[in-house]
A and B are shown apart, each in its own frame.
Chain A
Amino acid sequence: MRYLPKSPADREAMLKAIGARSIDDLFAPIPAEYRLNRDLKVPRQMAESEIVDWFRERSRETADGYTNFLGAGAYYHYRPVIIDSLISRGEFLTAYTPYQPEISQGTLQSIFEFQTMMCELTGMEVANASMYDGSTAAAEAAMMACRVTGRSAVAVARSVHPEYREVLATYAHHQGMPLVTVPFNENARLDLNRLEKSITPDTACVLIQSPNFFGTIEDVGAIADIAHKHGALLVVSIAEAVSLGVVEPPRQADIVAMEAQSFGVPLGFGGPYCGVIATREQYVRQMPGRLVGQTTDRNGKRGFVLTLATREQHIRREKATSNICTNQALIALMANIFMTIYGKVGLRELAKQNLAKAAYAVRQFGKHETVLFSGAPRFNEFVVQTSEDPHAINNRLLEHKIVGGLPLKKFYPELGNAALWCCTEMTTRVAIDAAVASVAEREGSTKSSKEPADVQEVVR
Chain B
Amino acid sequence: MTVIHRGAASGPPPPAAPRTTVPSRPAPGAEPAPRPLTLIRGGDVLAVAGALAAALATTALLWTQLSPFSGLLGYIAVTWCLFVAYYAVLVSIDENRPTMRDRVSAVVVHSLAALVLVALLFIIFYTFVKAWPALVHLNFYTQDLRSTLAQDPLTKGGVLHAIVGTLLEVSIALAVAVPLGLVAAVYLHEVPGRLARLVRTVVTAMTAMPDILAGLFIFATLILIFGLQLSGLAAACALAVTVLPIICRAADVVLRLVPGGLIEASYALGAGQWRTVWFVTLPTARSGLATAVILGTARAIGETSPPLLTAGATNYLNFDPVHSPMMSLPLLAYYEVQAPFSGEIARGFGAAAVLLVLVLLLFAVLRMIGGRGPGQLTRRQQRRRAARSRRDMVGYARRVAAAAAAPDYPGSGP
Q: Are these two chains actual partners, yes or no? A: no
Hey, which bits of chain B sit against chain A, CB under 8 A?
none
